[in-house]
């Protein structure tokens, strides 16, 4: 359903009113939540796959993910440092979620 709403939203260049803009932002936000749901699904998978709780936090991987987001943002002429900060928060939330899931999975066993 969200893909349909996003497809129905006007492209930013085609917006003529603030109603158009807001509809596009709202549709994009819903699509982002769907993507976050999928990303956190990967965190659940990682929690299931990793046998050592200490392996959940991987600072080298965290830096790699954040740098990739920063570079991608810069290539798109977006505010790269601000997006890197968002990704830092996203990765930290993902790690926290994965730790909770890691504990939950093993407490159910």
Tokens 């050592």 belong to: 52
Q: What is the pLDDT of residue 2?
A: 61
Residue 82 predicted with pLDDT over 60: yes
Residue 1: is its pLDDT beyond 60? no
Residue 69 has which token pair?
Answer: 């987001």
**Same domain, residue pair 90 and 44:** no
CB atoms within 10 A of CB 98: 23
- Give the total number of structural domains in the chain: 2
| pTM for this entry | 0.89
Local confidence band at 7 (pLDDT 50, 70, 90 cut-offs): confident
Of the residues 14, 33, 49, the one at which a domain ends: 49
Q: Could you tell me if 35 and 68 lie in one domain?
A: no
pLDDT for the residue numbered 109: 61
Residues 108, 59, single domain; the answer is yes
The domain boundary, picked from 9, 30, 49, lies at 49
Q: Is the pLDDT of residue 75 over 90?
A: yes
> What's the CA gap between 21 and 70, in Å, rounded?
25
The residue range of the domain holding 62 is: 52-109
Based on the domain organization, do 3 and 33 belong to the same domain? yes
Alpha-carbon gap, residue 101 to 52, rounded angstroms: 13
Domain shared by 45 and 26, yes or no = yes
Select from 39, 40, 49, 56 the least CA-distant residue to 99: 56
């Amino acid at each position: 359903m969200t893909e349909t709403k996003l497809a129905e939203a006007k492209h930013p260049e085609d917006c003529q009113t603030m109603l158009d803009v807001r509809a596009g932002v709202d549709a994009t936000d819903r699509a982002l939540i769907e993507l976050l749901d999928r990303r956190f699904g990967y965190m659940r998978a990682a929690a299931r796959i990793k046998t050592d709780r200490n392996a959940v936090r991987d600072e080298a991987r965290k830096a790699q993910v954040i740098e990739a987001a920063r570079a991608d943002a810069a290539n798109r002429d977006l505010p790269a440092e601000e997006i890197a900060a968002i990704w830092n928060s996203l990765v930290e939330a993902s790690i926290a979620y994965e730790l909770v899931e890691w504990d939950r999975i093993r407490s159910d066993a």
